[in-house]
Structure formats: structure tokens, C-alpha cells
């Protein structure tokens, strides 16, 4: 049986690491900073992928696939982008291994097989894609291009954590090309909105939509839209970003089009992405000291049925009822596991489904059979109740819908509690250290102030929120005029 988890209050970070492993979601690989996504974790990621993919297609996007490798000369073409990622690039320099003359049976890199030009393993694909778009775009008739790709990317991070920051991760990256600045801006905002809808309604994680300050922008972007979520330890997590890239990549790769007026213009661009990092956000938003808590939309198993018996006769009788229930629930679209393993005790099974965050658990014992009832337990509230057997098929969808909603409500309530308006820097520091969460404060808009606050507190500007009232005030640090409150937090 899994060991008892460290609790969140004991050590939040340890709790997270243990939970990811004990819930069978992922583990560290033999390759530094990389992870193995285990079947149970991958099944959750697949649900995210399916829903996002549907949303991308519904907004007119198509999938495509571009190469894993970016030749160095293309990688460096857009200088800001290159500068932003150069420090964390895995680089392929050779294309062959050969027998090691010094160590029989071992291999070494073949010095004869050095590439003329090194290849960067994509940390993001703007460069390779815009080099391709160059050949696809001649006229306004070729625009817009609305593509997405599901891919792996590599960023050689020094300090890694499962799902949150890994050297290799899985993501989708949208790359679009437009005639006008306005159209590209609208696309970037639309996709940020798509992300917000997805994360709130599907993952039950409330997010703030905003724009990044200049220093937190994507390297090569003119504007970065983002969705920011708040984890249970009071730290923020950037859950998705959507970039308005201006004409930066079009200029770097010389991508011009004949416009409707007969002139030549550079193409306008966006890119947007979410990654397996969302798994980290999902885990940290909803889970508790007993393990994973999953919104039903994401649950690979909605309901587990555990039989409780002493005799074979009882086991057979319960199995009959359980199988019938399973069929009925599956017929209306739920995923049900009837756990009839004989070599594990009910307590062990209860614990397993608890740590794995299975939303509902039904236990059936001999007395339940006699009384035509079952015990049903909710993972989120840990409530149990006994219900009539013939109400289960109507009760289950109701409970699942309720859980999906209540998890969101609970997360909203947490965020509301942990968002504090602050107007002076002493309070800023106290709130940040003693309470945590989002601090809503005025900022004078300068990079210097942003830097000074970060240096003093480790808090960064998570975003300039898009929605809500924008009232002027005085910067919490410098006292200079400010146009609106922005959100500060320590962040993942």
C-alpha cells in the first residue's frame, strides 16, 4: 500500500512530489530533468488534449507537424527569441555513433560524423515554422494561416520538477499568420480566451486573464496574453500564454505578402501554447492530504466499485449486482472500474482510489445486497452515504456534475480569500510572506520598480488583468502614478 503522504502544511513541495508518484501520474526518468508520464497520468493528459483539440478546430485551426530540429542559422534569425532560449538549448552536433576503440562493446560519438551545421532541439517552433511559412505566403489570399501542432519540446532547465518544469515536455503550439495587426491581435486574445474557458470549465481551475509586463513577455513577442492561476500554497502558476508577435518573425524570415492594394507587407503573427504543466496546475489546485482530487471531466475512471465479502457466495452475488451497475453506468458514458481483485483488501482498494482521485467510490457488502442499497463516497468531500441501488444511475451523473462545479467554486473561494489589495510596500511584504496569494497593487509601469520589488520579495508581476475596473493610484513601491492595479505573486 502507498505510504502516507506528507501533508500540505508540513511541506507543500514534498507533498506534491510524493503525490505525483504515488498517484501513478509520472516519475523522474533516467535522463536528467526528463519525466516518464505513466498511463494514469497520460490518460488525464489525453482528456485535456481531446478537449483542446476540439476547441482549436471549432475556432478554425488545423493541425500540422514541423520538424523537431531547428538549424542554428534559422534559430538565431529572430534575435530576441534566440537570445531568450539560447541558454537552455539541447544541441545535436553529430549523426552517428561508432564502436569505441578503447572500450570493446561500447559506443562513442563518431568524430567523422560531425554535422556541418548544428541542430537545436526545438524549445519552441517559431523559427522553423516561419521559415516554412515564407514559402507558403505570397498574397493576402494565402492568409490567414491558422495552424497548431501537438509536439514535444526541450528546454534545458537546471532545476526541474515533474510536470511543472521538465527538460522535455509535451505541449501544443499554435502558429498563425495574418494580413493585419488587428486580426493578429484578435487571434491572440481569442486563443487566450479559449484557454481561459478550457481551464475554468474543463479543469475547474479559475484563472485571471491578463497581459504580461515587458520583462515577463515571451522572447520575440510584442505582447503576451496569459492566464494565471493560484495554487493552494499561495503561489501563482502561469497556465497558458498567447503571444502577439507583431511582424518580428516575418521580418526575421522575410515573409511578405501582396496586400489587397497591390503593395507588399510583412505578415503579422501569433503563437500560443499550453503544456503538460497544466497537469501540475490541476494537481495543485484540487488535491488534498489524502491524494489526488480530480474534476470528473478529467478522471480516467469516474467511479470504482469495491465489493466487501467474506464468502465466495457473497462475492458472486455482489459481482452480479456490480456488473449490472457498471453496464448501466457505462451505457450513459461513465467510466467504471469494478475492482473484484481477491488478493487485495477493501481498505487497500479504498486507499488506492483515494490517492488516485477517482471521483466516486461505491462499496457493496452483503447487508447492502439484502437491503438493495450501496454506500457511495465522494472523493472531494470524503462524504459517504447509503443510497438505494435503483437510484445510483441517476445519482452518479448528478454527483459528478456537482463535483465539477463545486471544485471550481471552492477554488474561486480560495482565490478570493488569497487575493489582497495592498497600498503600501510594508504591507506588501507582510502579506506576501505571511498570507501569500495574489497581491493586487499599483505599479508605476517601469522595469526598474518591477526589478526592485522582485529583488526585495521574489514576487513578480503575474499580469496586468484585462477584466475588471481600472482605477488610477500610486505605485506601491515608488509612489509614482499608476494606471491600474496589477497582480503580484511568487510563482512557479
Which positions touch a copy of itself (CB under 8 A)?
29-31, 34-39, 42-43, 45-46, 62-72, 74-76, 79, 82, 86-99, 105-107, 109, 118-121, 128, 131-132, 141, 147, 151-152, 154, 156, 168, 170, 343
State which residue, 56 or 425, has the beta carbon closest to a copy of itself.
Answer: 56
Query: Closest CB to a copy of itself among 178 and 212?
Result: 178
Beta-carbon contacts of 491 under 8 Å, excluding residues fewer than 6 positions away, are 235, 236, 237, 238, 460, 462
Using the 8-state DSSP alphabet, how is residue 390 labeled?
G
Q: How far is the CB of 67 from a copy of itself (least distance, A)?
A: 4
H or E element at residue 428 = helix 425-430
Q: In the complex with a copy of itself, which residue's Cβ is closer, 38 or 251? A: 38
CB of 343 to a copy of itself, least distance (A): 8
Min CB(147)–a copy of itself separation in Å: 6
CA-to-CA distance for 37 and 102, rounded, in angstroms?
Answer: 37
Distance from C-alpha of 351 to C-alpha of 291, rounded to nearest angstrom: 9
CB of residue 31 to a copy of itself, shortest distance in Å: 5
Q: How far is CA 461 from the centre of its chain?
A: 20
Are 277 and 172 in contact by the 8 Å Cβ rule? The answer is no
- Using the minimum distance from each CB to a copy of itself, give the nearer residue, 105 or 333: 105
| Contact between residue 175 and residue 129 where contact means Cβ atoms under 8 Å apart | yes
**Backbone torsion region of residue 420, taken as left when φ is above 0, otherwise alpha when ψ lies between -120 and 50, otherwise beta:** beta
Which three cell numbers mark 230?
Answer: 493560484
Shortest reach from residue 251's CB to a copy of itself, in Å: 14
Smallest distance, a copy of itself to C-beta of residue 175, A: 12
CB 243 within 8 A of CB 218: yes
Instruction: Give the residue with the Cβ less far from a copy of itself, 145 or 211.
Output: 145
Are 2 and 11 in contact by the 8 Å Cβ rule? The answer is no
Instruction: Please identify, using beta-carbon distances, which residue of 160 and 232 lies nearer to a copy of itself.
Output: 160
Q: Considering beta carbons, is residue 90 or 491 the nearer one to a copy of itself?
A: 90
> In the complex with a copy of itself, which residue's Cβ is closer, 246 or 300?
300
- How far from 231 is each of 8, 146, 235, 306, CA to CA, in Å? 12, 33, 5, 32
CB 174 to a copy of itself: min, Å: 13
Minimum CB distance to a copy of itself smaller for 210 or for 220: 220
- Are the CB atoms for 143 and 177 separated by under 8 Å? yes
Closest distance of CB 446 from a copy of itself, Å: 27
Q: Closer to a copy of itself by CB, 300 or 357: give it.
A: 300
- In whole angstroms, how close is the CB of 93 to a copy of itself at the nearest point? 5
Query: Considering the complex, what minimum distance in angstroms separates the CB of residue 416 from a copy of itself?
Result: 36
Cell of 382: 470524503
In whole angstroms, give the CA distance from residue 355 to residue 15: 12
Nearest to a copy of itself of 98, 182 (CB atom):
98
CA distance 464 to 243: 15
Per residue in 83-111, is it b (16+ CB within 10 Å) or e — as a string?
ebbeeebeeeeeeeeeeeeeeeeeeeeee
- Residue 282 or 377: the one with the smaller Cβ distance to a copy of itself is 282
Q: How far is the CB of 243 from a copy of itself (least distance, A)?
A: 21
**Least distance from a copy of itself to the Cβ atom of residue 149, Å:** 8
- Label the pairing between strands 208-211 and 114-121: unpaired
Rounded CA gap, 62 and 147, in Å? 5
Q: Are strands 438-442 and 419-421 parallel, antiparallel or unpaired?
A: parallel
- Cα 386 to Cα 369, 377, 383, 392, 445: the distances in Å are 12, 9, 10, 10, 58
Task: Name the grid cell of 314.
Answer: 457473497
Which residue carries 517559431 as its cell? Answer: 126
Residue with cell string 482565490: 415
Amino acid at each position: 500500500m502507498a505510504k502516507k503522504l506528507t501533508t500540505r502544511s508540513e511541506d507543500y513541495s514534498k507533498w506534491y512530489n510524493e503525490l505525483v508518484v504515488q498517484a501513478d501520474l509520472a516519475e523522474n526518468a533516467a535522463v536528467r530533468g526528463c519525466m516518464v508520464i505513466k498511463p494514469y497520468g497520460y490518460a488525464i493528459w489525453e482528456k485535456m488534449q481531446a478537449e483542446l483539440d476540439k476547441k482549436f478546430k471549432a475556432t478554425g485551426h488545423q493541425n500540422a507537424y514541423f520538424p523537431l530540429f531547428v538549424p542554428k542559422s534559422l534559430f538565431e534569425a529572430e534575435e530576441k527569441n534566440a537570445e531568450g532560449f539560447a541558454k537552455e538549448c539541447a544541441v545535436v552536433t553529430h549523426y552517428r555513433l561508432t564502436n569505441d576503440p578503447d572500450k570493446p562493446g561500447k559506443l562513442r560519438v563518431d568524430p567523422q560524423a560531425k554535422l556541418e551545421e548544428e541542430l537545436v532541439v526545438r524549445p519552441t517552433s517559431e523559427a522553423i515554422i516561419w521559415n516554412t511559412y515564407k514559402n507558403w505566403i505570397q498574397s493576402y489570399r494565402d492568409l490567414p494561416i491558422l495552424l497548431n501542432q501537438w509536439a514535444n519540446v526541450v528546454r534545458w532547465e537546471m532545476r526541474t520538477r515533474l510536470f511543472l518544469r521538465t527538460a522535455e515536455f509535451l505541449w501544443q503550439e499554435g502558429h498563425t499568420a495574418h494580413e493585419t495587426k488587428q486580426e493578429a491581435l484578435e487571434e491572440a486574445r481569442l486563443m487566450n480566451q479559449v484557454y481561459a474557458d478550457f481551464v475554468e470549465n474543463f479543469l475547474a481551475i479559475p484563472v485571471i486573464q491578463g497581459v504580461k509586463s515587458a520583462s515577463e513577455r515571451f522572447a520575440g513577442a510584442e505582447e503576451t496574453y496569459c492566464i494565471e492561476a493560484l495554487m493552494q500554497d499561495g503561489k501563482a502558476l502561469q497556465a497558458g500564454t498567447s503571444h502577439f508577435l507583431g511582424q518580428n518573425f516575418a521580418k526575421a524570415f522575410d515573409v511578405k505578402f501582396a496586400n489587397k492594394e497591390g503593395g507588399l507587407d510583412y505578415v503579422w503573427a501569433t503563437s500560443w501554447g499550453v503544456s503538460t504543466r497544466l497537469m501540475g496546475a490541476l494537481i495543485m489546485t484540487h488535491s488534498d492530504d489524502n491524494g489526488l482530487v480530480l474534476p470528473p471531466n478529467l478522471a480516467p475512471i469516474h467511479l470504482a466499485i469495491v465489493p466487501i465479502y467474506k464468502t465466495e457466495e457473497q462475492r458472486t452475488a455482489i459481482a452480479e449486482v456490480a456488473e449490472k451497475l457498471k453496464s448501466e453506468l457505462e451505457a450513459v458514458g461513465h467510466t467504471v472500474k469494478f475492482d473484484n481483485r481477491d488478493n487485495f483488501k477493501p481498505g487497500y482498494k479504498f486507499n488506492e482510489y483515494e490517492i488516485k482521485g477517482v471521483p466516486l467510490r461505491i462499496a457493496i457488502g452483503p447487508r447492502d445486497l439484502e437491503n438493495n442499497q450501496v454506500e457511495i463516497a465522494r472523493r472531494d468531500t470524503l462524504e459517504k452515504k447509503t443510497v438505494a441501488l435503483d437510484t445510483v444511475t441517476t445519482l452518479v451523473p448528478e454527483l459528478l456534475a456537482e463535483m465539477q462545479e463545486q471544485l471550481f467554486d471552492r477554488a474561486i473561494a480560495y482565490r478570493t480569500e488569497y487575493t489582497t489589495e495592498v497600498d503600501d510596500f510594508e504591507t506588501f511584504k507582510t502579506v506576501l510572506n505571511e498570507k501569500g496569494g495574489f497581491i493586487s497593487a499599483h505599479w508605476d509601469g517601469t522595469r526598474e520598480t518591477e526589478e526592485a520589488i522582485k529583488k526585495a520579495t521574489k514576487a513578480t508581476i503575474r499580469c496586468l488583468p484585462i477584466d475588471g475596473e481600472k482605477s488610477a493610484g500610486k505605485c506601491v513601491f515608488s509612489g509614482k502614478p499608476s494606471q491600474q492595479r496589477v497582480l503580484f505573486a511568487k510563482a512557479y
